[in-house]
C-alpha cells in the first residue's frame, strides 16, 4: 500500500468518525443532554477529521456560527491545507514515491 493510500484511508476513517461525533453532539444539543466538549471536536478535526467536520457543519448546521470555535476550526483546516500543498509540492521530491 502506498503512502498516499494510507493517508487517504486515515483521512476517510477520521472524517467519518468526526462526522459521527459532530452528529452525536448535535443530537445532545437538541435534547439538552451531555455535550461533546468543543476541545474534543477541534482535536478530532486536527487529527485528520476536518473533511468530516466540514461535512457535518454543512449537513447538520452544527457549530457554524459559534465563536471562537469557528475561527479555531478554520485555522486548523487552513494549516492542514497548507501542509497538504507543501507535501504535494515538495514532500515527494527525491523520496522515490
From 4-8, 18-22, 23-27, 44-48, the region with the lowest mean pLDDT: 4-8
- Please say whether the beta carbons of 52 and 18 come within 8 A: yes
**Which residue is listed with cell 439538552?**
32
pTM of the predicted model, to two decimals?
Answer: 0.88
Examine the pLDDT at 87 and tell me if it is beyond 90. Answer: no
What percentage of the chain exceeds 90 in pLDDT?
75
How many angstroms separate the Cα of 57 from the Cα of each of 22, 23, 53, 62, 96? 8, 9, 6, 5, 38
> Which one has a higher pLDDT value, 87 or 82?
82
Amino acid at each position: 500500500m502506498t503512502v498516499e493510500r494510507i493517508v487517504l484511508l486515515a483521512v476517510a476513517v477520521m472524517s467519518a468518525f468526526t462526522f459521527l461525533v459532530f452528529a452525536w453532539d448535535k443530537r445532545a444539543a437538541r435534547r439538552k443532554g451531555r455535550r461533546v466538549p468543543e476541545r474534543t471536536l477541534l482535536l478530532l478535526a486536527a487529527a485528520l477529521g476536518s473533511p468530516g467536520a466540514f461535512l457535518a457543519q454543512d449537513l447538520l448546521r452544527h457549530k457554524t456560527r459559534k465563536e471562537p470555535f469557528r475561527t479555531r476550526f478554520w485555522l486548523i483546516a487552513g494549516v492542514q491545507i497548507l501542509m497538504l500543498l507543501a507535501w504535494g509540492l515538495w514532500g515527494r521530491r527525491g523520496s522515490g514515491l
